[in-house]
Amino acid sequence: MTEIDEKEFLTIIEANKDRIYRICRAYCVPPVDAQDLFQEVIVEIWQSLANFKGRSNIKTWIYRITLNVCFRSNKTQKRDNQHIVRLDSIEIAVRDSQSSDEHQYTMLRQCISVLKELERSIIMLHLDELSYREIAAITGITENHVAVKIKRIKVKLLDCIVSSQANSSGEAYVK
């Protein structure tokens, strides 16, 4: 890449790094760390920037790359870890040490992590305040389907959070 391309790359990454990291964090499967996924995404963007034709918004293109890298990583990790039982799936809930907002955020994050990949993608993009049209372009489904999915995902998340709150009255629970 030329020096101008490097500046363009750095500008693009700087403008999108928080979004990229949020998605990586939502999709990381131990032992892969969100930072590792983030770096894989950055490399993929670097390698693919010359092929970007501008037919879509750069933000949409970056989301698609980020999701593809996360999906590949998840598929690999699930295949490699299908016979492993992890002790880190048991958490001790200590409510006094977390503020109410932190606790709610943790529950929401846990509930999002159990959604199917497409559902997780849609809700993460929705939480990043993308329009239905942008979400449709990234995920490859229609805008109407996005709207229906978001409504159903919100119901699933509410059910999950309510049941997590009911379970958190005990000392320990399984994710």
Residue pLDDT, tens place only, 26-50: 887 666 688 888 999 999 999 988 8
Q: Are 113 and 156 in contact (CB under 8 A)?
A: no
Q: What is the mean pLDDT of residues 160-166?
A: 81
DSSP state of 171: S
- Of the candidates 28, 124, 22, the one whose C-alpha atom is nearest the C-alpha of residue 78 is 28
pLDDT, residue 77, reads 67
Buried b (16+ CB within 10 A) or exposed e, 17-29: eebbbbbbbbbbb
- Domains located in the chain, CATH noted: 1-84 (1.10.1740.10), 86-175 (1.10.10)
Local structure of residue 174 (DSSP, 8 states): E
Interior angle at CA 37, CA 25 and CA 39, nearest 5: 125
- Cα angle: 142, vertex 146, 151; to 5 degrees: 150
Please tell me the distance from the alpha carbon of residue 67 to that of residue 123, in angstroms, as a whole number. Answer: 13
Using pLDDT thresholds of 50, 70 and 90, give the confidence band for residue 93: very low
Query: For residues 99 and 55, which has the higher predicted lDDT (pLDDT)?
Result: 55
Bond prior to 31 in cis (omega within 30° of 0): yes
| pLDDT tens profile 110-159 | 899 899 989 999 999 998 889 999 999 999 999 999 999 999 999 999 88
Is residue 2's pLDDT more than 70?
no
